[in-house]
Structure 1
Amino acid sequence: MASSVPVPMPADLLAAPAAQRAPRTVEETGLPFFFLVELLVKVLFQRGQLHLPELASYVKLGLGVIDPVMVFMRQEKMCEVMRRGASGTDADIHYQLTDSGRQRALECLARNAYAGPCPVPLAAYNAQVAAQSVANMHVTRPQVQASFDGVVVNPAVLDQLGAAMNSGRAIFIYGAAGSGKTYLAERLQDLLQGAIALPYAIMVDGEVVPFYDPVLHLPAAQQPEAPAGIERAVQLDARWVRGVRRPAVLTGGELTLEMLDLRFDSVTRLYRAPPHLKANNGIFIIDDLGRQRCSPLELMNRWIVPMDRAIDYLSLHNGHTFQVPFDVVVVFSSNFLPERLSDAAFLRRLGYKIEVPALSAAHYETVFRQTCAAYGMEFDAAAFAFLLQRHARGATPLLACYPRDLLRQVRDLARYEGTAAQLNEQVLDWAWNNYFAGANQRQGADDMAVQERREPKSS
């Protein structure tokens, strides 16, 4: 992890599970003894011979917790001690499974194949989420301006987004495709302050749910200081990953109702946590609402209880239902108007409905200039004036995506011809016709029809 400037930990985090001392006994883990036996059996089965420090490091538990479990496994003839090396020290001692232990491991893996870092109890996870709740933060105008510095966006929209982040309610962002809705939604993550802690896995009713996802849970720019009053010699519970940036989880048209439940894969024999659970303490973005394989009404009805009560209910494959926190800023993004997607009951639960309109001509020029600089092209005022005429001629809105998409085609043509990319009316006209797929011909036909109506018919 890159070095960073530490920030003080809030008082509520000092008492949270992730800030507490590592467990020294089996009882202090909050997990059943025989669960730890099964976990270690599975780890040894998959990883082969290990000496005790390696095993302890892999499952994120101290030697004081591991040692009595290994003693029990040796007494039950599930593992045996092997000596490798000639130093005569404990470093030469390795553990490996016996035939009986391998049979036990196969039975355990058939039920749940998880064999990673030791999980934390569900109650500890719930307490940690509450201590680092996203609802405890406040966003100010200077923070919004700093986060969106250099981004071309309507100032009124920024004010709406900033206020919405303080509301604790769901946000509905809508506008034409290409207006920049998704980009703005993802940038909201930069407004979330502070690092959080996440468990590698959670234990629920004897089942293990893997949780930490290195793709979604990234290191924070600023790392928290060690909790006050705890000496550096005291090791914190290693079952938690600390210094994680508040997550921003994005789902789109691929989202189904089944994905929002806890799923058990019968092939891998592993659970898969739903995306909104992994988004806890951060932002959960549902992009392209209205284009999922389920109806928007079904999808939105799924969120009524979580958004009202800040809790959700999930079920294990054995039918056991349990409660988890729903501590997320929910952001819906859609090309459709809100009233087209849901009923009045759900719309009342959307705290903010924010439209992202087309750009003004001045903002459009700024985006165009920025894109020229990014692609190494010199801005040409005459060529840009020609582009504005094409927009006006077809009543095409000035959307934020067009400069990038059109200038990318100009760059592609220059690469094909082996020349430096230069702006002029000809290349922009060529890119426009490619991009809008026949809009030019349709506009030309419309112009001819208008001209025919204006000219008097000859007798």
Structure 2
Amino acid sequence: MALTLLDSDASNLPASFAPLPPSGVKEMGIPFLFLAQLVCKTLFNAGPQRISDLSARLKLPARIVEELVDFLRRERLCEVTSASTALQRVFTLSDLGHQRGEEYLRHNQYTGPAPVTLEAYQEQVRKQAIAEVRVTRADMERAFAGIVVSANILDQFGAAMNSGRAVFLYGPAGAGKSFIAERLVGLLNDEVYIPHSILVHDQIVRMFDPDVHVATADGKPASPVSLGIANADARWVKCRRPVIITGGELTLDMLDLQFEHSARFYAAPPQLKANNGLLIIDDLGRQKVRPDELMNRWIVPLDRRLDYHALHTGEKFMVPFDVTVVFCTNISPRELADEAFLRRLGYKIHLGPLDEAQYREVCEQVCRLLDISHEGADIDHLISKFRSEKKPLLACTPADLLRQVRDQARYRGVEARLTGDLLAWAWNNYFVSHGAEQQPSL
């Protein structure tokens, strides 16, 4: 159960990790004609552009864009418009260029920043590996400040985060597994570079996703027109280490490259977007696919730290699997996977009910948060009710029950207090009753 959040300051990524901007097309490793077609498609969709405009759209230095535009002019695909001045030329497609632009867009409709090569991506992932992240006890205490959780659990998670290996977090529903897993985000305070897209066998795979990748303040570099050797390559976005959370909606198909048939390019699957970061698979066992099938999909990546993907053309390629995977489930490990898979899980952490002292502390926190008046005896009375009913003291129940106390008090127009009748009403409303319909007494 959590009541406070701490935002840690992101540390600076070592300068040696920053991918340097290309000095020319050859150095990029991307086919010249692919880049020329990208410029042509951009002019087709965006209309007349200056070199600086194209540079900003493609995230390429102006000298490279000029080389590509000059090629298009020689091929009679683009021309200087009448709106140009002696100091600022504006380029537009010719009639032939429009025909070619339509043809290129039928092949694929990608017109974003220029891609990076698969080899460049593989090298960058290794440079900024999450296995190099170091987590101390002080880091754990800071990330979990204000959270009621045992020191033993924190020590287990701290060691797990230093290993870079998978974590299997299990325990009863309501024990706080999802919340604890999500709090691990506070331990990833450094930054990584994520490309807008990569080129694999002449196919575009879009990597950067603004919905899951959080660009840092300087994640959008200054205009690429003036990029010098000291700047990072603008085709990469400087981000916080990614954290992706998926749950019952996860299917095996979602773990493959997602080909967008209308646009004719790919979107990266969640584990690829999570590279150099954290992937939380919540509610394992609630997916439409059988748990053992889902778990078997991870055997090779977890064991070899490599993942393999296939294009619709039949070609396959390999990427590093640099992800700390956290599986959260209500099911015991041995019920979900065989011994071979369990060996590949670095840490198996059980999160169970709270003890009475911990439960009392959580109730106190929730009362302060919801502005509910109470006496110490009121919480003791609630705990005794759990004891007499032989119900576990789960981390979720204080907030669930006490919110209902507050809601009913508001409805009645009275002060929110832990009175016996309000607690009895909340208890009866919260716990499913079988048989008798009368309200239990607190």
TM-score of the two chains, using structure 1 as the length reference: 0.87
Give structure 1 regions of 4+ aligned residues with deviation exceeding 6 angstroms.
Answer: 442-445
Residue identity in the other structure for 1:154:
S
SS at match of 2:148: coil
Question: 1:328 Cα shift?
Answer: 0.8
Residue identity in the other structure for 2:396:
C
Residue identity in the other structure for 1:357:
G
Question: 1:167 Cα shift?
Answer: 2.5
Question: Within 2, Cα distance between the matches of 1:273 and 1:291?
Answer: 23
Question: 1:294 Cα shift?
Answer: 0.8
Question: Within 2, Cα distance between the matches of 1:258 and 1:126?
Answer: 23
Matches within 5 A, 1:380-459: 380-438=375-433, 441=436
Q: Which residue of 2 aligns with 1:174?
A: 170
Q: Which residue of 1 aligns with 2:279?
A: 284
Question: 1:133 Cα shift?
Answer: 0.5
Question: Structure 2 unaligned runs (5+)?
Answer: 1-7, 220-226
Question: 1:192 Cα shift?
Answer: 2.7
CA contact (8 A) 1:253 1:289 kept: yes
Q: Which residue of 1 aligns with 2:374?
A: 379
CA contact (8 A) 1:173 1:354 kept: yes
CA contact (8 A) 1:209 1:270 kept: yes
Question: Within 1, Cα distance between the matches of 2:119 and 2:404?
Answer: 54
Residue identity in the other structure for 1:74:
R
> Does structure 1 residue 89 correspond to structure 2 residue 81?
no
Flag the 1:232–1:368 CA change in 2: closer, same or farther, 3 A: farther
Structure 1 range deviating more: 336-345 or 139-148: 139-148
SS at match of 2:81: strand
Specify the structure having the higher radius of gyration (Cα): 1
Residue identity in the other structure for 2:80:
V
CA contact (8 A) 2:372 2:416 kept: yes
Question: 1:220 Cα shift?
Answer: 5.0
Q: Which residue of 1 aligns with 2:200?
A: 204
Q: Which residue of 2 aligns with 1:78?
A: 77
Q: Which residue of 2 aligns with 1:153?
A: 149
Q: Which residue of 2 aligns with 1:69?
A: 68
Question: Within 2, Cα distance between the matches of 1:6 and 1:171?
Answer: 24
Question: Within 2, Cα distance between the matches of 1:239 and 1:366?
Answer: 49
SS at match of 1:307: helix
CA contact (8 A) 1:29 1:120 kept: yes
SS at match of 1:38: helix
Residue identity in the other structure for 2:311:
L
1:17-41: CA deviation from partner (whole Å, max 9, x where unpaired): x342x22321122211111111112
Percent identical: 47
Structure 1 range deviating more: 327-336 or 427-436: 427-436
SS at match of 2:398: helix
CA contact (8 A) 1:221 1:245 kept: no
Residue identity in the other structure for 1:109:
L
1:98 to 68, 90, 94: 94
CA contact (8 A) 2:215 2:237 kept: no
1:262 to 235, 240, 257: 257
SS at match of 1:348: helix
Question: 1:440 Cα shift?
Answer: 8.6
> Does structure 1 residue 50 correspond to structure 2 residue 46?
no
SS at match of 1:333: strand
1:86-133: CA deviation from partner (whole Å, max 9, x where unpaired): xx3333x32222332222222222222211111111111111110110
CA contact (8 A) 1:218 1:247 kept: yes
Matches within 5 A, 1:348-363: 348-363=343-358
Question: 1:260 Cα shift?
Answer: 0.5
Question: Within 2, Cα distance between the matches of 1:353 and 1:58?
Answer: 46
Residue identity in the other structure for 1:48:
G
CA contact (8 A) 2:137 2:158 kept: yes
1:344 to 320, 339, 348: 339
Question: Structure 1 unaligned runs (5+)?
Answer: 224-230, 448-459
RMSD between superposed Cα atoms in Å: 2.5
Question: Within 2, Cα distance between the matches of 1:269 and 1:318?
Answer: 12
Q: Which residue of 2 aligns with 1:295?
A: 290
1:164-186: CA deviation from partner (whole Å, max 9, x where unpaired): 22233211000111111011111
TM-score of the two chains, using structure 2 as the length reference: 0.90
Flag the 1:435–1:99 CA change in 2: closer, same or farther, 3 A: farther
2:324 to 329, 336, 343: 329
CA contact (8 A) 1:249 1:275 kept: yes
Q: Which residue of 1 aligns with 2:222?
A: none
Q: Which residue of 2 aligns with 1:135?
A: 131
Question: Within 1, Cα distance between the matches of 2:431 and 2:242?
Answer: 36
| Matched length | 427
